[in-house]
Amino acid sequence: MKNKSAAVSEKEKEQKLKALRRDLEEKLEEQLPEELLEPKIRVEVEKVDVNEKLEPAKAKRVIEALLFASSKPMTVQEIKKVMRSASAREIQDVIEELRQEYQESGRSFEILEVAGGFEIATRKEYAPWICRADMQKKAKQATQSALETLAILAYKQPLTRAEIEELRGVDVSGVVANLMERGFIKIVGKKEIPGRPFLYATTEKFLEHFGLNSLKDLPNIEEIRQLVEKSVKREELLGTQKLVENQPEPSSESGAEASASETAQAGEDAVNQAAAAESSIGEEQQDELDAEIEKALLAEEDFEEELIVDGEPGEQTDEAAEDR
């Protein structure tokens, strides 16, 4: 009997502690958000009397703003903590009024009840356009990552995933899976080191896509560097002259003469350098360079379009299927 009463007593203590903890958490939630704000913002927040009874129109817009700004569904109780003067019933009525307003006005968004809370979300009929925009954004990022990974593999293959990551400085597991799925790279063996990781290399599809007969047709890194250096725009070289000309004038007369002399010399050197750069690359070389650049750009556009149409690895939307 004594043990039973002791157990009941312990249970009551636990319940009281839980109730006390809940009360403390609620009080902290009410105080912390304002205390954690930056001083300037906090002053602006403190100017608003959260206990003031708002007019119905104002209350409706405040609740709408809260739902719009929240990154997750907000419950009636969470809204009530912000709008202390409003009752749960009033908040519920306002949400229902907003929902009806969106429905009647034919807006592209609506209020959904999710996980016991409410959130503003776009209507499902607009999902294809939103998904398309999101896919294009992801494809842009994926294209750059994929091209960098392909370039590293093309010049240094075969490589393990860890070696590619070491060269790029970022995780490439998703990019490697994407490129393998599209047939641009393949596994060519295992490296004889602890763990025996897979070795990756480019495929024939890679050569075909970028218009190469073999890996020997890849431009030499040194050749690329020289071509880039030789194709520097005249305006960029003449920019040196503009920088010199825009320097502040010296106070003394002799300093001014020296500055003018240096400016003239710098300008002449810049012009001579530009002329030398232009003359050092002949018309045929320039045409070849332009053709290579155009070819690379077209290949990149095709590659990007393929990523956009295909979507994420392992996924394919109905719209992408229709495009194909």
6 sits in which H/E element: helix 2-35
- pLDDT tens per residue across span 165-221: 988 888 888 888 888 888 889 999 999 999 899 999 998 888 888 778 788 877 776
Of 90, 122, 154, at which residue does a domain stop? 122
Name the DSSP letter for residue 74.
B
Of the candidates 64, 63, 67, 107, the residue with the CA atom closest to the CA atom of residue 85: 63
Of the candidates 234, 242, 236, the residue with the CA atom closest to the CA atom of residue 281: 234
The confidence score (pLDDT) of residue 27 equals 65
**For the residues of 138-156, what is the DSSP string, one character each?**
HHHHHHHHHHHHHHHHHHH
Do residues 262 and 249 share a domain? yes
Mean pLDDT, the chain, integer: 70
> What CATH number corresponds to the domain at position 199?
1.10.10.10
How many domains does the chain fold into? 3
Work out the pLDDT band at 281, boundaries 50, 70, 90: very low
Work out the pLDDT band at 244, boundaries 50, 70, 90: very low
Of 100, 122, 144, at which residue does a domain stop? 122
Q: What single letter denotes the amino acid at residue 177?
A: A
- Two tokens, residue 74: 């907000």
Do residues 285 and 307 share a domain? yes
Do residues 160 and 71 share a domain? no
Number of Cα atoms under 13 Å in the Cβ half of residue 65:
8
Of 102, 122, 142, at which residue does a domain stop? 122
- pLDDT tens per residue across span 289-310: 566 656 655 665 566 555 554 5
Q: What's the average model confidence in pLDDT over 120-147?
A: 74
Do residues 225 and 315 share a domain? yes
Do residues 236 and 261 share a domain? yes
**Per the domain annotation, does 242 fall within a domain?**
yes
Q: Is pTM, for the whole model, over 0.85?
A: no
Whole-angstrom Cα distance, residue 60 to residue 75?
15
- pLDDT tens per residue across span 310-321: 544 444 444 444
Q: What's the average model confidence in pLDDT over 259-278?
A: 50
Do residues 199 and 230 share a domain? no
Do residues 202 and 148 share a domain? yes
- Two tokens, residue 116: 């016991």
- Two tokens, residue 214: 């073999």
Whole-angstrom Cα distance, residue 157 to residue 214?
13
* Domain containing residue 283: 221-320
